[in-house]
């Protein structure tokens, strides 16, 4: 395993922990999301927590540091 690959796996693990449990990070909501009803906000946050659709196109370095979905 190359140094870069190992580093990317470590970063991905930290990003996964932050995304799935909002642990060890600060969560920010945009004004548009913050102004939605709480139930809708919770649904969006649940989609963030469960996002796992990482591909070479949206995650070229394997660090799980980007995700996008429609809501």
Is the pTM higher than 0.85?
Answer: no
Residue 69 CA: distances (Å) to CA of 6, 30, 54, 61:
28, 15, 11, 19
d(CA 40, CA 15): 24
Q: Which of 68, 23, 26, 25 is nearest to 48 (CA)?
A: 68
Going by C-beta distance under 8 Å and a sequence separation of 6 or more, which residues neighbour residue 16? 64
How do residues 20-56 score in pLDDT, each as one tens digit?
Answer: 999 999 999 999 999 999 999 999 999 999 999 999 9
Q: Which residue has the tokens 């429609």?
A: 70
Residue 4: the pLDDT is: 60
């Amino acid at each position: 395993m190359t140094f870069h690959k190992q580093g990317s796996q470590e970063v991905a693990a930290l990003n996964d922990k932050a995304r799935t449990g909002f642990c060890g990070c600060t969560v920010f909501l945009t004004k548009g999301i913050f102004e939605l009803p709480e139930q809708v906000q919770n649904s969006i946050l649940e989609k963030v927590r469960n996002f796992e659709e990482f591909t070479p196109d949206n995650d070229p370095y394997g660090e799980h540091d980007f995700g996008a979905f429609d809501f």
